[in-house]
Amino acid sequence: MGKEFAKGDHVVGIDIGGTKIMATVFDHQYKPVGSCRKKAKNAKKDESAEDRIIRIVQTALEEAGGPSIRGIGVGSPGPLDPETGVIIDTPNLGWKNFPLADVLSKHFKTSVVVDNDVNVGTYGEWSFGEINSCQDVVGVFPGTGIGGGIIINGKLLHGFSGAAGEIGHMTIEVDGPYCGCGKRGCLEALASRIAIAKELAALAAREDAPFIAEKCGSDIAKIRSGVISKAIEAGEPMVEGVVRKAAFYVGIAVSNLINILSPEAVVLGGGLVEAMEKLYLEEVKRAVKEHAMPFLRKDVKIVPAKLGDDAVVLGGARMIVERLTAKG
């Protein structure tokens, strides 16, 4: 403990996502020297999620020339316990009370830190972005769902349960539509890619969104960020209206967070923001101007995420290095 992260040292960042798993080996300057990315779903049915992750890490290490590593930082879907690295329940991967940190630590004989994937992504954007000097940061990532991460005084906020930061389940409309969590009116039920796609599918079926109708029909699964952005570029005003409303809802959630936490910076990422950055920033800033308190919103930086698909592996690498080099 306490030893600097120096020349010749390596760490691994792992991003366990809903659709893909990625592992990247980084050198002491956080330069990637080996990486492997595969679909999360097993092609071979007899391979467990943990065996698959181990194989992906091994492939990345081989690509890096087989360096010894000082540690591994993992972003995983939650809920999980960031103290122990136990995944509490992730039906997608077949894990229930699964000791992920211990399993990886034993296999690779190294230190492992595990945190929620969105927390780790927020940490990555904070560590390697222009907002690095800010000590209080909120990250919001609208995509298929809506994830969030909160950094207070330079540290991720975990709260009493360990699972703080569920920004997607902030209640925005008390009697609103049902959310995946079973409650009504969460931000995610109003502004996720699925919520947007649901509304666009109805427009397509009514012939009010011909571009969407032509490319996707009214299949919600096919109405993804890229095609939505192209429909807006093609000049479909109702599609733009639907997305602007969703982005404004995200801005309402951001306004609530500004009023409660007084962050210095808010970073916006995820598939929808990446595809329509200008529109998202405009609507979020508009909502913040209308709904956050002037003294609290003054000077808050609202910035787009920069790391894209590398946010979680970089955040994981940074987290394990911070853990290994912590003083005292």
What is the SS3 assignment for 27? coil
Q: By CB under 5 A, tell whether 178 contacts Zn ion.
A: no
Q: What is the dihedral of CA 207, 212, 218, 220, to 10 degrees?
A: -150
Q: Which is nearer to Zn ion, 179 or 220 (CB)?
A: 179
- CB 288 → Zn ion: shortest distance, Å? 22
Piece in contact with Zn ion (CB under 5 A), picked from 83-91, 129-137, 179-187, 227-235:
179-187
- CB 182 → Zn ion: shortest distance, Å? 7
Q: Give, as one character, the DSSP assignment of residue 218.
A: T
Q: Which is nearer to Zn ion, 53 or 179 (CB)?
A: 179
Pattern 37-56, Zn ion, x by CB under 5 A? --------------------
Contact 112, 71 (CB under 8 A): yes
Piece in contact with Zn ion (CB under 5 A), picked from 15-23, 119-127, 168-176, 212-220:
168-176
What is the SS3 assignment for 95? strand
Q: In degrees rounded to 5, what are phi and psi of residue 119?
A: -60, -45
Interface with Zn ion: number of residues (CB under 5 A)? 4
Q: Which is nearer to Zn ion, 186 or 246 (CB)?
A: 186
Whether a cis peptide bond, with omega within 30° of 0, leads into 99 is no
Structure-token match 């979020």, residue found: 284
Q: By CB under 5 A, tell whether 169 contacts Zn ion.
A: yes
Q: Which is nearer to Zn ion, 181 or 205 (CB)?
A: 181
Piece in contact with Zn ion (CB under 5 A), picked from 93-101, 138-146, 176-184, 253-261:
176-184
Rounded to an integer, what distance in angstroms lies between the CA atom of residue 58 and that of residue 63? Answer: 9
- CB 170 → Zn ion: shortest distance, Å? 9
Q: Give, as one character, the DSSP assignment of residue 221.
A: G
Q: Which is nearer to Zn ion, 169 or 224 (CB)?
A: 169
Single out the residue of 134, 138, 179, 287 in contact with Zn ion (rule: CB under 5 A). Answer: 179
What is the SS3 assignment for 80? strand
DSSP per-residue codes, 118-185: HHHHHHHHHHHSTTTT-SSEEEEEESSSEEEEEEETTEE--TTTS----GGG-BSSTT--B-TTS-BS
Piece in contact with Zn ion (CB under 5 A), picked from 61-69, 177-185, 229-237, 271-279:
177-185
Q: Which is nearer to Zn ion, 81 or 166 (CB)?
A: 166
Rounded to an integer, what distance in angstroms lies between the CA atom of residue 206 and that of residue 218? Answer: 10
Q: By CB under 5 A, tell whether 181 contacts Zn ion.
A: yes
Q: Which residues pair with 152 in a beta bridge?
A: 155
| Separation of CA 233 from chain center | 26
Q: By CB under 5 A, tell whether 148 contacts Zn ion.
A: no
Which two three-digit tokens encode residue 48?
């467990």
Piece in contact with Zn ion (CB under 5 A), picked from 49-57, 171-179, 208-216, 289-297:
171-179
Single out the residue of 23, 57, 140, 186 in contact with Zn ion (rule: CB under 5 A). Answer: 186
Q: By CB under 5 A, tell whether 279 contacts Zn ion.
A: no
Which two three-digit tokens encode residue 35?
């990486």
Sites of contact with Zn ion (CB under 5 A): 169, 179, 181, 186
